[in-house]
Chain A
Amino acid sequence: MANIIIDNQQYEVADGQNLLQACLSLKKDLPYFCWHPAMGSVGACRQCAMTQYHDENDTRGRLIVACMTPVTDGMRVSMEQPQETEFREQVIDALMTHHPHDCPVCAEGGECHLQDMTVMTGHYKRGFKGKKTTFQNQQLGPLIKHEMNRCITCYRCERFYKDYAGGTDLAAQSSRNKVYFGRQCDGTLESEFAGNLVEVCPTGVFTDKPFGDHYSRKWDMQAAPSVCQHCSTGCNVTLSERYGSVRRVTNRFNDHLNGYFLCDRGRFGFDFVNSEQRQQHISLGGQSVNWSDAEVQQRLKAKGTWVGIGSSQASLEDNFALQLLVGAENFCVADDPQSEHLLELHMAILQQWPQASLAQMEQADAIVIIGEDINNSAPRIGLAIRQALLNNAKQQVKNVGVPEWQDSAVRQVLPHNKVPLAVVGYQQGALAEQATIRLVADDKQTAEQAFLLANLLCEKSPKPRVSKVHSQIEEIAEVLKTAKRPLIVGGWSANNSAVLSAVANICKALANPQGMLCIAPPAANTVGLGLLMQAGYLANEAVESKLKSEECNLLVLDHTSDSRQQWLQTLSKQTNNVVCLQQLAQGENNSLSLPISSFSECSGSQLNYQGLIQSYSPASKPAGQCRPAWQWLVDLGKLQNIAELASVEHLGQLHLMMSKLFPTLAEHFTELSGRQFAMQSPRYSGRTAMLANQTVHEPKPFSEAGAPYKQSMEGLLPGQNDQHPLAYSWSPGWNSNQSNHKFRDEFRGPELKSQQGIFAVPNHPECFWFKWQASWSANTKANYKILAVEEVFGSDSLAEFAGAIQQLSKSAYVVVLPKVASSLNIEAGQWVTLDDHPTLFAVKISDHVPAKSILLYSPAHEAAISDGCDEIKVASKQKISALHKRQQAQQDVQSQQKQLHKQRLLDQDQHIPIQFIEGAM
Chain B
Amino acid sequence: MWSQLVTLWRVFMHLFDRTDTVEYPEQKPYLAPRYRGRIVLTRDPDGDERCVACNLCAAACPVDCIALQKTEDEDGRWRPEFFRINFSRCILCGLCEEACPTYAIQLTPDVEMAEFQRTNMVYEKEHLLIDGPGKYHDYSFYRKAGISIKGKGKGEADNESPPVDIRSLMP
Residue B72 lies at the interface, judged by CB distance under 8 Å to chain A: yes
Q: Which of A101, A242, A684, A692 contacts B145 (CB 8 A)?
A: A101
Residue A102 lies at the interface, judged by CB distance under 8 Å to chain B: yes
Candidate in B69, B70, B157, B162 with the most chain A CB atoms within 10 angstroms: B69
Given the complex of chains A and B, what is the CA–CA distance between A137 and B166 in angstroms? 12
Chain B interface size range: 35 or more
Contact B160 A685 (CB under 8 A): no
Name the B residues within 8 Å of A909 (CB-CB): 69, 81-82
Contact B154 A135 (CB under 8 A): yes
Given the complex of chains A and B, what is the CA–CA distance between A505 and B146 in angstroms? 61
Residue B163 lies at the interface, judged by CB distance under 8 Å to chain A: yes
Given the complex of chains A and B, what is the CA–CA distance between A910 and B71 in angstroms? 13
A96-116 CB mask vs B (1 if < 8 Å, else 0) is 000111111110011000000
Contact A133 B147 (CB under 8 A): no
For the residues of A in contact with B, the DSSP-based class is loop
Residue A208 lies at the interface, judged by CB distance under 8 Å to chain B: no
Q: How far is the CB of A689 from chain B (nearest CB, A)?
A: 4
Given contacts A216-B70, A696-B88, contact A132 B81 (CB under 8 A): no
Residue B56 lies at the interface, judged by CB distance under 8 Å to chain A: yes
Segment at the interface with A among B17-25, B32-40, B59-67, B106-114: B59-67
Q: Which residues of A685-709 are within 8 A (CB) of B? A: 685-690, 692-693, 696
Q: How far is the CB of B120 from chain A (nearest CB, A)?
A: 10
Given contacts A105-B145, A135-B164, contact A688 B55 (CB under 8 A): no
Residue A906 lies at the interface, judged by CB distance under 8 Å to chain B: yes
B47-83 CB mask vs A (1 if < 8 Å, else 0) is 0000010111011010111111111100000100110
Contact B160 A689 (CB under 8 A): no
Name the A residues within 8 Å of B121 (CB-CB): 696
Residue A482 lies at the interface, judged by CB distance under 8 Å to chain B: no
Residue A206 lies at the interface, judged by CB distance under 8 Å to chain B: no
A123-156 CB mask vs B (1 if < 8 Å, else 0) is 0000000011111110000000001011000000
Q: Which of B59, B70, B72, B86 contacts A689 (CB 8 A)?
A: B86
Residue B41 lies at the interface, judged by CB distance under 8 Å to chain A: no
Given the complex of chains A and B, what is the CA–CA distance between A131 and B102 in angstroms? 22
Contact B69 A105 (CB under 8 A): no
Q: Which of B63, B118, B124 contacts A693 (CB 8 A)?
A: B124
Residue of B nearest to A176 (CB): B171
Given contacts A105-B147, A131-B160, A149-B146, contact A688 B166 (CB under 8 A): no
Q: Which residues of A213-235 are within 8 A (CB) of B? A: 213, 215-217, 219-220
Given the complex of chains A and B, what is the CA–CA distance between A135 and B52 in angstroms? 22
Q: How far is the CB of B169 from chain A (nearest CB, A)?
A: 9
Q: Which residues of A138-185 are within 8 A (CB) of B? A: 147, 149-150, 173-174, 178, 180
Residue B105 lies at the interface, judged by CB distance under 8 Å to chain A: no
Residue A460 lies at the interface, judged by CB distance under 8 Å to chain B: no
Contact A134 B82 (CB under 8 A): no
Contact A688 B89 (CB under 8 A): yes
Given the complex of chains A and B, what is the CA–CA distance between A215 and B56 in angstroms? 14
Contact B145 A100 (CB under 8 A): yes
Name the B residues within 8 Å of A133 (CB-CB): 161, 164
Residue B4 lies at the interface, judged by CB distance under 8 Å to chain A: no
Contact B64 A689 (CB under 8 A): yes
Given the complex of chains A and B, what is the CA–CA distance between A104 and B84 in angstroms? 19
Residue B119 lies at the interface, judged by CB distance under 8 Å to chain A: yes
Q: How far is the CB of B95 from chain A (nearest CB, A)?
A: 12
Given the complex of chains A and B, what is the CA–CA distance between A688 and B88 in angstroms? 9
Q: How far is the CB of A133 from chain B (nearest CB, A)?
A: 6
Name the B residues within 8 Å of A131 (CB-CB): 159-161
Contact A216 B161 (CB under 8 A): no
Name the A residues within 8 Å of B54 (CB-CB): 103-105, 109, 217
Residue B129 lies at the interface, judged by CB distance under 8 Å to chain A: no
Candidate in A104, A213, A687, A906 with the most chain B CB atoms within 10 angstroms: A104
Given contacts A132-B160, A689-B85, contact A174 B166 (CB under 8 A): yes
Given contacts A132-B146, A909-B82, contact A696 B52 (CB under 8 A): no
Given contacts A132-B146, A147-B147, contact A690 B67 (CB under 8 A): yes
Contact B52 A104 (CB under 8 A): yes
Given the complex of chains A and B, what is the CA–CA distance between A147 and B163 in angstroms? 13
Candidate in A101, A131, A136 with the most chain B CB atoms within 10 angstroms: A101
Residue A354 lies at the interface, judged by CB distance under 8 Å to chain B: no
Residue of A nearest to B121 (CB): A696
Name the A residues within 8 Å of B56 (CB-CB): 104
Residue A536 lies at the interface, judged by CB distance under 8 Å to chain B: no
Contact B59 A685 (CB under 8 A): yes
Contact B163 A136 (CB under 8 A): yes
Name the A residues within 8 Å of B161 (CB-CB): 131-134
Q: Which of B64, B101, B147, B164 contacts A685 (CB 8 A)?
A: B64
Name the A residues within 8 Å of B63 (CB-CB): 688
Q: How far is the CB of B161 from chain A (nearest CB, A)?
A: 4
Contact A686 B68 (CB under 8 A): yes
Given the complex of chains A and B, what is the CA–CA distance between A439 and B129 in angstroms? 69
Q: How far is the CB of A373 from chain B (nearest CB, A)?
A: 37
Q: Which residues of A224-259 are within 8 A (CB) of B? A: 242-243
Closest 5 CB pairs of A and B: A100-B146, A686-B67, A104-B54, A685-B58, A689-B67
19 contacts between A and B (CB under 8 A): A102-B146, A103-B54, A104-B52, A133-B161, A133-B164, A134-B155, A134-B161, A135-B163, A135-B164, A147-B147, A174-B167, A216-B70, A220-B58, A689-B122, A692-B84, A692-B122, A693-B84, A906-B69, A909-B81
> Which B residues contact A (CB, under 8 angstroms)?
52, 54-56, 58-59, 61, 63-72, 78, 81-82, 84-86, 88-89, 101-102, 118-119, 121-122, 124, 141, 144-147, 154-155, 157, 159-164, 166-167
Given A134-B163, A216-B69, 19 extra CB contacts under 8 A: A105-B147, A106-B147, A109-B54, A110-B59, A135-B154, A147-B147, A149-B147, A178-B164, A216-B70, A242-B69, A685-B58, A686-B64, A688-B65, A689-B64, A689-B66, A696-B86, A696-B121, A909-B81, A909-B82
> Which A residues contact B (CB, under 8 angstroms)?
99-106, 109-110, 131-137, 147, 149-150, 173-174, 178, 180, 212-213, 215-217, 219-220, 242-243, 683-690, 692-693, 696, 906, 909-910
